[in-house]
Amino acid sequence: MSSKEYDISFNSPKVEDFANLRLKIGWGEIDHSLVKQSFDNSLFHVAIYHHETLIAMGRVVGDGFMYFYIQDVIVDPKYQGKGLGNMIMEQIENYLSKAAIKGSTIGLLAAKGKEAFYRKFDYVERTGEPLGKGMCKFI
C-alpha cells in the first residue's frame, strides 16, 4: 500500500530504525536484542516510510484472543501533524476489528498529553468503578 509520499508496510521495521525513531521522540535507548524478540512476538505491525526511512509506526501485542494492547504508536517529530498517527491507528483498528471478538479487551498506555488522540478512536480512560485506574510497572 502506498500514497504519493508514503509507503505503508505491515512487516516489523528494522530494529535499528525503531531504535532511532524512539530516540527522536525522547524515549531513550533500548537493547536491540530485546526489541527483536518483542517484534518477533507481536501480533500486528504497521510502519510508514518516506523514501525508505521509517517515520511512523505502531503495533499490537497480546495473547491474540482475550487481550490486545496497542504499543509504540510513534511519529517522527518532523512528520507530526500530517495525519500519520491517524493512518497508523486506522490500520490498527482495521486489524483489531477482525482479530478481537466479543469479550476481548483492547488496552493502551497513552503518552502524556496524547489521551485526546486516542479518544477519537473510542478509547476511554479508566477512572473509576468498577474497573479502577490502569496501572503499569517499568523494569
Asked if residue 127 is part of any domain, the answer here is no
> Strand pairing partners for 5?
none
User: How would residue 126 be classed by pLDDT, with cut points 50, 70 and 90?
Assistant: confident
What confidence category does residue 3 fall into, taking pLDDT thresholds of 50, 70 and 90? Answer: low
Residue 93 lies in a domain: yes
Higher pLDDT pick, 136 / 123: 123
Domain containing 76 — which CATH number? 3.40.630.30
On whether residue 101 sits in a domain, the answer given is yes
In this predicted structure, what is the pLDDT of residue 70? Answer: 97
Q: Read off the pTM.
A: 0.90
As a whole number of angstroms, the distance between CA 6 and CA 75 comes to: 13
Q: How many domains does the chain have?
A: 1
| 106 occurs within a structural domain | yes
- The span from the CA of 25 to the CA of 61, in Å, is 21
pLDDT, tens digit, 9 for 90 and up, residues 14-33: 999 999 999 999 999 999 99
Residue 125 within a domain: no
Does residue 129 belong to any structural domain of this protein?
A: no
Q: What is the pLDDT of residues 22-64, one digit of tens each?
A: 999 999 999 999 999 999 999 999 999 999 999 999 999 999 9
Number of H helices, E strands in the chain: 4, 5
**Residue 66 located in a structural domain:** yes
Residue ranges making up the domain that contains 108: 7-119
**124 within domain boundaries:** no
